[in-house]
Amino acid sequence: MNDLYRFVTGPLAWIAFLVFVAGSLVRIGHMLYLVRKKEAFIFSYFSMSYGLRSIFNWLIPYGPVNMRRHAVLTAVTFIFHLALIFTPIFLLSHVVLWDENWNVSYWSLPDAAADILTVVVIACCAFFWIRRMTQAEVRFLTSASDYVILLLVAAPFVTGFLAYHQVSGYPLFSILHVLTGEIMLMIIPFTRLTHMLFFPFTRAYTGSEFGAVRHARDW
Amino acid sequence: MVHDAVPAEEKTVLDEGIEKGASRLTEERIAEVINRVLYGEGGARIRVYVDTCVHCGLCSEGCHYYLSHDKDPHYSPAGKVKQTLWEMIRKKGRVSPEFMKRAAEIAHTQCNACKRCSMYCPFGIDIAYLMLVVRRIVHLLGMTPLYIQSTAHSHSATMNQMWVKGDEWPDTLQWQEDEARGEVAGLRIPLEKEGAEIMYSVIGPEPKFQAQLIYQAAIIMNAAGMNWTMPATSGWDNSDMAMYTGDNELMGRIKRRHFETAIRLKVKKIVMGECGHAFRSVYDMGNRWLGWKMPPIPIVHAIEFYYDLLKEGRIKIAKKWTDPVTLHDPCNVVRGRGLHEKARYVVSQICENLIEMHPNREHNYCCCAGGGVINCGPPYKMTRMLGNRVKAEQLFETKSKGAKTLIAPCHNCHSGLEDINHHYGLEMDVKFISDILYAVMEKPEKA
């Protein structure tokens, strides 16, 4: 158990960060290469100001028409993404790890708040799961991989929650927590979680076409 | 499980172009063409768009087909990508001729390429583009729907959409000039006038069966005192169905002829009639294929032209149109060029009462005729009618508020809305802006 713990928190952690960073760079690099090779016109239509205008407007909750049409989903989506990114970065025990290993120290969340945010992420995942099962237009588009990805996103939070509350067998959950967190990080560049990487690009390109060429709004 | 729950009206459609084309296909040939398009011609956008889509279904309500079919997911934008491109990518192009028949039907007749859905996708994925990629594959496989392919053939043989012969064109213009001289003394439709400020261009159907629109344009140009001309040669037609069949090479030939005609006449700009798809072709797609970032000669759509005329006081209004009107925002000049506010200014100057339809401006519902769908002909008329019930409901709402006239400043929208009008018994009066402008303007003295 200790060996396993040392492996997931040692070499595998390095590998996970490396795969995430290198994989992300490769995906973005490959995309830019493809654009340059096949659809270079995209660069000439790209407009920084209209691209940013589009991204900005789509980051305002209930700004775009479609967000107003889906009030609950919009709330869940914003809360989910904020909690998903915010919680692991500012969790006290993660900050401590940074401090111990790299002597980097920064503000951290109170444990009680982190606990709530963790439950919020899990609840949001459950919401997405139910939405996939019950909404016909989403179910039609859903394949098994969509559920698997959702599980992999929820897993570090579920295991982290169990480990933190020291339920029976929690050392195992600690290991699983680290492991699933690493898996999630590693699959970002290679699954539909790449939307995290590509969102600024697709949004900005559409925003450029709508703004600079078509003189219309895209939200 | 892509073929289940295909709506009834689609099952009855038999399109000779698709059927005959598919009968000649083998899986090897299909795979070769699909892979050539997906990985040879294209690649960057297709790859990123397909990988980025999180299957959230939020694009669904962007689509009038989806809304009109009681939210049947087969009609959601991403649902259409699933039934076509996802499957092609997953199977590495090895799909059956039967699959391609369905794909051709979806891409050609269940998507108007109106781009409304890309305003509903959080990532701004251009699903209309993906449907045009499918049409490109369909074209290269030789299984484009019969009617629209016939139109493309006309473009190829005559450089216009309607098989208008070389002599029929100037003949029609002279006929309209004669007619208009009966109303306005000394009126001219100047042909081949080198160095004119404006080349006025129209789409094939105008000389073919809507010649009164050329008549009205001549009266407006004349009253405004414009220095204008029309070509006596081919190149007068700005329409472009090849753009919608995925025949990009032909699209390039048509647009080159159009631009070169304007350049030959040494005009300063091209003013075009009230057509949406033609605007998309000259302003957005055709010029790009030819390597021009923007059109080589400024292109002014009729809405903008009328706006300028009214702003500058070149046209005076005798008496505004009294019937309450509602205004349809065509995708290609509103989502495609942002002319919605100018259109409202024009309407406010020529009509007493505008009753807005909702949603409007960039969010207006498509007419369901554009994107080449109406050009797929009579076999698909019911596809358009049942696929746009939501438009009828939207129009009915404006009618209940008193709107009698429906202004549709686009040819495809005009024809499509006329069909909706009849099918759903709306009894609205569908008009172009020029119909009303012509009716309400001060005209020069009678002959």
pLDDT tens track for B63-118: 999 999 999 999 999 999 999 999 999 999 999 999 999 999 999 999 999 999 99
SS3 content of chain B, % helix, strand, coil (to 5): 55, 5, 40
**Contact residues on chain A for B82, CB-CB shorter than 8 A:** 140-141
Contact predicate B146/B109, CB 8 Å: no
Cα dist. A80→A183, B49, B144, B177 in Å?
A: 19, 23, 45, 66
B165 touches chain A (CB under 8 A): no
- The answer to whether the pTM exceeds 0.80 is yes
Chain B 180-209, residues with CB within 8 Å of chain A CB atoms = none
Torsion sign, CA atoms B384, B390, B393, B397 = negative
Collapsed DSSP state (helix, strand, coil) of residue B325: strand
A40 touches chain B (CB under 8 A): no
Torsion sign, CA atoms B409, B411, B413, B418 = positive
Q: What is the DSSP letter of B329?
A: -
- Give mean pLDDT, residues B403-413: 98
pLDDT (0 to 100) of residue B267: 98
Collapsed DSSP state (helix, strand, coil) of residue B405: strand
What does the alpha-carbon distance between residue B39 and residue B114 come to, in Å, rounded to a whole number?
25
Query: For B55, which of A38, A73, A141 is closest by C-beta distance?
Result: A141
Q: What is the DSSP letter of B323?
A: S
pLDDT above 60: residue A212: yes
Give the residue carrying structure tokens 């519902």. B365
| Per-residue exposure over B297-309, b if at least 16 CB sit within 10 Å of its own CB, e if not | bebbbbbbbbbbb
Chain A 115-154, residues with CB within 8 Å of chain B CB atoms = 135-143, 146
pLDDT tens track for B135-163: 999 999 999 999 999 999 999 999 999 99
pLDDT above 70: residue A65: yes
pLDDT (0 to 100) of residue A1: 74
pLDDT band at residue B189 under the 50/70/90 scheme: very high
Q: Which two tokens stand for residue B221?
A: 């140009």
pLDDT (0 to 100) of residue B12: 60
pLDDT (0 to 100) of residue B446: 65
Angle CA B356–B361–B363, to nearest 5:
110
Residues A202, B52: C-beta atoms closer than 8 Å: yes
Compute the count of residue pairs across chains A and B with CB atoms less than 8 Å apart. 129
pLDDT above 70: residue B6: no
Beta bridge pairs of residue B191: B230
- Give mean pLDDT, residues B407-424: 98
pLDDT above 60: residue B38: yes
A68 touches chain B (CB under 8 A): no
Contact predicate A156/A187, CB 8 Å: no
Helix pair A111-134, A144-164: axis angle to 10 deg = 160
pLDDT tens track for A99-124: 999 999 999 999 999 999 999 999 99
Query: For B60, which of A137, A195, A215 is closest by C-beta distance?
Result: A137
**Contact residues on chain B for A55, CB-CB shorter than 8 A:** none
Cβ neighbourhood burial of B286 (10 Å; 0-12, 13-18, 19+):
buried
**Contact residues on chain A for B362, CB-CB shorter than 8 A:** 216-218
- Give mean pLDDT, residues B364-393: 97
Give the chain B residue nearest A68 (alpha carbons).
Answer: B120
Chain B 73-92, residues with CB within 8 Å of chain A CB atoms = 73-74, 76, 78-79, 82
Give the chain A residue nearest B123 (alpha carbons).
Answer: A203
Give the chain A residue nearest B52 (alpha carbons).
Answer: A195
Residues B120, A66: C-beta atoms closer than 8 Å: yes
pLDDT (0 to 100) of residue B447: 53
**Contact residues on chain A for B78, CB-CB shorter than 8 A:** 141
User: Nearest to residue B65, comparing CAs of B83, B79, B44?
Assistant: B79
pLDDT tens track for B229-274: 999 999 999 999 999 999 999 999 999 999 999 999 999 999 999 9
Give the residue carrying structure tokens 């070389």. B166
Contact predicate B27/B96, CB 8 Å: yes
